[in-house]
Structure 1
Amino acid sequence: MFTKPFFYHGQYAKVQKVMGDTLLTQMQEQKKTYHNILEIGCGTGYLTKKLREMFPEAKMTLVDIAPGMIDYVKSTLPPENMKFICGDMEELDVQDTYDLIISNATFQWFNQLENTIQKLVASLQSEGTLAFSTFGDDTFYELHEATNKAKIALNRNKQVQPGPSFYSLDQIEDMFIGLGLNHNQTSFSESYYKEHFNKCREFLHAVKKIGANNSLAGNHGMGVALMKKVMEIYDQDYEENNQVRATYHTMFVSYRR
């Protein structure tokens, strides 16, 4: 139901900035100066601009899979010491080495996350840092729970995937362990961020309005009866101060080579 466009629009813009700010705060706590930075999934350039302010002399390489995002960031930042690559990070050959590889809210889309982490770590200079934020498995857990309750209430057995399926923090930790990366050089943290809507229908409509695939409609997923039951349960079980909540599970990882 939720595809990449949703995570570049509307409500997501708020949580994306919160995640980016948290990531940058963690970087500042390290009190390091970086000279050659790779940013993966630059999006609209929110993190990029902050990084440029923090490290004005650094060379920066920006990667994004969307040509429109690359063009937008090009139009908003001075070109000095900037390199732009439009492509899928999982498919790209990394030609350079970096003292900072950073990414905000992008790693959840990778199909081969462990292999990509291994490739990026190999591209770090000595004492270099890999830092990223990503969404965790509890993101939109309310929708998953409401869907399961609705299926039980209506005696439906059909497999339905109402929302995204992301890794847990434990699973990502296991990837680093499996890659033989020193646990003492790695930090993991997580937090939860809530957005509110008047009703579940408004939450789902926001997704549909920005063009995300609506698997809650007709032949694409649940069907009308199950969809109505999901909304009824969601509105009843996840009400807070006369609104309903939608939870983002955010995770932060930092590794120093």
Structure 2
Amino acid sequence: MIDGSRQWRKQRISDAFGAAAAHYDDHAGPQRQAAALVAELAQRQKPDGVGRILEIGCGTGFLTRDVQARWPGAEMVVTDLSPGMLEQAASAGHVAGRFLTMDGEAPIFEGPWFDLIVSSLAFQWFDDLGSGIIRLAGLLRPGGSLIFSTMGQGSFARWRAAHAQCGLVAGVPDYPTLDGLRAMLAGFGDAFAFDEDYALDCGGARGLIAHLRGIGAVVPGEGRAPLSPGDLRRVMAAFEAGGGGDAYQVLFGRVTRSAR
């Protein structure tokens, strides 16, 4: 059960992504790359025998469209925390499925329903990633796989460093390390995780802020307050002095349920 403060935070996240839905694709370079790799990993793992697919955090539909093209005969259930993102994904065309507003951390399904569960760059918004993965893995049919990507702690390292140089803490959430994710998956009999870095050529501090706003990633980590205008100017100057570029560290994971 989600307490009031967490429910309020989830609503803020939903609202922020809904507000960004119409222009999200213009800012989502790393998101496209991560979604493409999730789809490729899923096909390598489960090339056939896929009757029902669940997607968590569809956004505007990068992964949705790719997955449907690879398994055109499968029944797809497409979900997102944000109704605005769902509407954008559904309106893009080339997608046939059931679209549901749903918090992926609290799925409305029970028991083994899906042959494949996919998600790209949504799990970082979970309150408890380890528990969320366990719940979703419990929805897999025998032989089914959960394939996902999520943000890693190395993301926006230069932006974090600019804050630290000014004696401040960035509002960027505390994402897991690769070792941390591997520890979460260690209890599964068949699982792995790895990471990839995606450069973000944002052209400076203003470009980075525009990128984050453009994709709706504007809700700070829990307990973090927005910077004052003066502090923000100091951080931006430090970031520019450090080169003005940054990167995503994206963690990829796979959990497969035993066929027996």
**TM-score bracket for the superposition, by shorter chain length:** 0.7 to 0.9
Q: 1:172 and 1:209, CA in 2 relative to 1: closer, same or farther beyond 3 A? A: closer
Corresponding position: 1:61 with 2:59: no
From 193, 200, 208, give the equivalent of 1:188.
193
CA displacement 1:129-163 (0-9 Å, x = unmatched)? 01001110111111111111122xxxxxxx63332
Alignment map for 1:44-55 (pairs within 5 Å) = 44-55=60-71
SS in 2 for 1:145: helix
Q: TM-score, normalised by structure 2?
A: 0.80
Structure 1 or 2, whichever has the larger Rg, is 1
Corresponding position: 1:251 with 2:251: yes
Counterpart in the other structure of 2:8: none
Counterpart in the other structure of 1:84: 99
SS in 1 for 2:28: helix
Q: Write the distance in 1 (CA, Å) between the matches of 2:125 and 2:67.
A: 23
Corresponding position: 1:28 with 2:43: yes
**Number of positions where the alignment pairs a residue of Structure 1 with one of Structure 2:** 235
Counterpart in the other structure of 2:177: 168
Q: 1:246 and 1:172, CA in 2 relative to 1: closer, same or farther beyond 3 A? A: same
Residue identity matched to 1:188: A
Structure 1 residue runs of 4+, over 3 Å off?
3-8, 76-80, 159-162, 205-215
RMSD of aligned Cα (Å):
2.7
CA displacement 1:86-114 (0-9 Å, x = unmatched)? 12122333146111011011000011222
Counterpart in the other structure of 2:10: none
Shift of 1:45: 1.3
SS in 2 for 1:63: strand
SS in 2 for 1:197: coil
- CA contact 1:11–1:195 (8 Å) conserved in 2: no
Residue identity matched to 2:255: Y
Is there any run of 5+ residues in structure 1 with no aligned partner, and where? 152-158
Residue identity matched to 2:123: F
- CA contact 2:65–2:94 (8 Å) conserved in 1: no
Residue identity matched to 2:232: M
Is there any run of 5+ residues in structure 2 with no aligned partner, and where? 1-12
Shift of 1:31: 5.5
Q: Write the distance in 1 (CA, Å) between the matches of 2:106 and 2:71.
A: 28
- CA contact 2:55–2:77 (8 Å) conserved in 1: yes
Counterpart in the other structure of 1:73: 89
